[in-house]
Chains A and B, each alone.
Chain A
Amino acid sequence: MSSHNMIEIRGLDSHYKGRQVLFNIGFAIPHKKVTVIMGRSGCGKTTLLRHLIGLKPSESGRVFVEGQDMGSFDEKGMANYRRRIGVLFQSGALFNSLTVSQNIAVPLKVHTRLSDETIRIMSLIKLHLVGLADFLDYMPSQLSGGMRKRAGLARALAMDPEILFVDEPSSGLDPITAAGLDDLILELRETLGMTIIVVTHELESAVKIADQMVVMDRGNLLAVGTPDEIRSSQDETVLRFLRREAEEQQVNTESYLSRLLGRQYKAGENSTRRQGGVR
């Protein structure tokens, strides 16, 4: 494994309720770069993210973090890894019963022995970073969707993580707020030198922030490369995704009718039955 890679994924398969959702995924995430994992809704991006943050154990295939197999982490090893990461969830996942500053203070209170005053100052610094310094004592319910995401980002940054995972930063946001979040991600890479992994289906946003793009389709890896390399790809599915064209559905009549009937449908079954009825 290259020493320039923070995370490397090899031959990762994943199942959900008996259905395979990831097929032999393998690529590397370089140090201090923004890697954008993109694809259509339901293509397995978030499942892949859950593997990377250790919320879903790998059934087959491996995830290496700086050369260490994540599957070999015990409880303590996983806790150590998670102290090095920050995660911004799609919904922000703020604790509704705590104020914004209390939300940011949670990891600081658990992992440090800082005084309450210092923790409050640190929370303020993080909120200042995401432009929410005036909302220290607000409850999450009093914030807009974009503000909640930024507050979630401030919490993800609380422990100054080496790796930041961001799930769908622009979903549900207006284009201006979404662009603001993209700028913030770029700023974090520049100023704090973080390795950032963003999961999104927003093409414009991905091209803007990515150093490396990973394109997925139906659980398969389609392409990995810089935004320019992806744009010059000759793969038909990648091109269709970049052109935002809907895929033509190849309808298999037999399997479609089998799904509708809840049993195996045989070609010609209908006509035979109709004949039987006439008889």
Chain B
Amino acid sequence: MIYLVRKLGAIALDLIEGLGRMGMFFFRVIRGVGRPPGKYLSTLKQVQFIGTKSFFVIGFTAAFTGMVLGLQGYYTLSKFGSEGLLGSAVGLSLIRELGPVLTALMVTGRAGSAMCAEIGIMRIEEQIDALECMAVDPHSYLITPKLIAGLIALPLLTAFCDVLGIFGGYLIGVQLLGVSGGAFMDGLTSSVVWDDVYMGIVKSFCFAVLMIWICTYKGYYAGLDEGNFGPEEVSWATTQAVVYASISILVSDYIITSILL
């Protein structure tokens, strides 16, 4: 019994310590925005890495998701004779929900894991220690540009995902299944309002912060708790980063939706 209480206490203490450390990590990253060196170039590089290089995978995901939505939506709506509402169904689903979530999940898998591994390797190869010894704040130098780049790239990628998804839905609904193009576009333009777009934007900003925060934090502290600095710790940190970031995105999606609805 005492063993169980002690074990639970240790877990609770670890959890509180971990949350505190995560909070301090985030605070240091935010504080790094105004610190030298200038971050224009490194941020641009990160925008290219997170944004431009994700175009292809986001495009594919968006197009096929839109096409599936077109198919499923048509099947469901035709049961009620409401095929004309397909544009509204596809547009609202993508802009409010699927666009931000799918984009964030895909970017986590592609760029978040890479960021975690990059920072983790820097940790095990003493490069982060080297930065500290040069009195260079690693949070400001390494993580802050990634956070700024994520905040720029993710909303843009989300918008791209929305557009391509709607195009996919249009392609299937109008070109393949014979829904009227006018009805599709009319449903889309009349039902999608600014609040829907706003919700999508807010979500993509929140997901960007969560994804960069969790993935870089996991890489930064790779092996530090275990006291072992090897490839295994980096791979474990990367796996944890992707799982935790994905779960956080899905949970926060529910919370944001419930607040903004």
A interface residues, Cβ below 8 angstroms from B: 16-17, 53-55, 78-80, 82-83, 85-87, 89-91, 93-96, 106-107, 109-111, 155, 158-159
Contact = CB atoms under 8 A, between A and B. Distances in A.
Nearest to A113: B36
Contacts of A94: 127
Interface string B110-130: 000000000001100111011
A93 B134 contact: no
Nearest to A84: B135
Contacts of B132: 54-55, 82
Nearest to B131: A106
18 contacts: A16-B227, A54-B132, A78-B135, A80-B135, A86-B133, A89-B129, A91-B125, A93-B125, A95-B130, A96-B121, A106-B131, A106-B134, A107-B135, A109-B36, A110-B37, A155-B130, A155-B134, A159-B134
B106 interface: no
B22 interface: no
A95 B135 contact: no
A93 B135 contact: no
B74 interface: no
A53 B36 contact: no
Given A80-B135, A110-B134, A111-B135, 17 more contacts: A54-B132, A78-B135, A79-B135, A82-B132, A87-B130, A87-B133, A89-B126, A90-B126, A91-B126, A93-B125, A93-B126, A96-B121, A96-B127, A106-B131, A107-B134, A109-B36, A110-B36
Interface in B190-204: none
B136 A106 contact: yes
The 9 closest A-B pairs by CB, nearest first: A82-B135, A93-B130, A87-B133, A93-B126, A107-B134, A109-B37, A79-B135, A89-B126, A83-B135
A110 B134 CA distance: 9
Interface string B22-56: 00000000000000110000000000000000000
B170 interface: no
B165 to A, nearest CB: 34
A86 B136 CA distance: 12
B121 to A, nearest CB: 8
Contacts of A106: 131, 134, 136, 141
A93 B127 contact: yes
Interface of B: 36-37, 121-122, 125-127, 129-136, 141, 227
Contact of B129 (A83, A85, A93, A111): A93
Contacts of B122: 95
Contact of B133 (A16, A53, A80, A110): A53
Nearest to A83: B135
A109 B36 CA distance: 8
B133 A55 contact: yes
A109 B122 CA distance: 20
A155 B131 CA distance: 11
Contacts of A82: 132-135
Contacts of A89: 126, 129-130
Contacts of B129: 55, 89, 93
